[in-house]
Amino acid sequence: MLLPEFINETSRIENFFDKELTRFQRDEWFRELKNISIQRYRQIVQEAFRKCKYMPKLADILEIQRSLTFNAPEVKEKVECDICNGTGFVMYKKHFKDGNREYDLDYAARCTCANGMSQNKNIPLITEVNLA
């Protein structure tokens, strides 16, 4: 999140608990929290309203961040695969003839492993383009 987003959202905590962070605390909070998305920070703040009886410390905020799993971005697990090297894609070339001109174009097909299955379904499978 950006500094203005952080300040805006953090001021909601300050208002709610009727206590202000010092400049130093604010800097420290931001340093620890800046890699969190604003959407997630909003969830954390909301959870702090529910859980904390007093103005949360940075440790409390980080604790909530760790305990909150809902709406967390989905981390796709990679499986090992010799066909696609774990990428889910296999590149192949299509040969084209256009009058006298002949050329190859690169295409991607989805591997039939779990990596490929989690990719965009509009991309053909390697079995559909006869690569496997």
Considering only the stretches 1-9, 58-66, 108-116, 122-130, report the one whose residues sit in contact with Zn ion under the rule CB under 5 A: 108-116
Site membership for Zn ion, residue 111 (CB under 5 A): yes
Per CB under 5 A, the segment of 19-27, 38-46, 77-85, 123-131 that binds Zn ion is: 77-85
> Which amino acid is it at 14?
E
CB of 50 to Zn ion, least distance (A): 43
The answer to whether 95 touches 116, Cβ cutoff 8 Å, is no
CB of 25 to Zn ion, least distance (A): 48
Told to check if 81 binds Zn ion by CB under 5 A, we report yes
Give the total of residues touching Zn ion (CB under 5 A). Answer: 6
Distance, in Å, from the CA atom of 69 to the CA atom of 84, rounded to the nearest integer, reads: 30
Q: Min. distance of Cβ 87 from Zn ion in angstroms?
A: 8
Give me the least distance between CB of 116 and Zn ion, in Å please: 5
Tokens, residue 9? 């959202």
Beta bridge partners of 92: 107
Q: Count of residues for the chain?
A: 132
Contact 43, 55 (CB under 8 A): no
Sole binder of Zn ion in the list 84, 108, 109, 126 (CB under 5 A) = 84
What DSSP element (H or E) covers 106?
Answer: strand 101-110
Query: Facing residues of 108 across strands?
Result: 91
Q: List residues near Zn ion by CB under 5 A.
A: 81, 83-84, 111, 113, 115
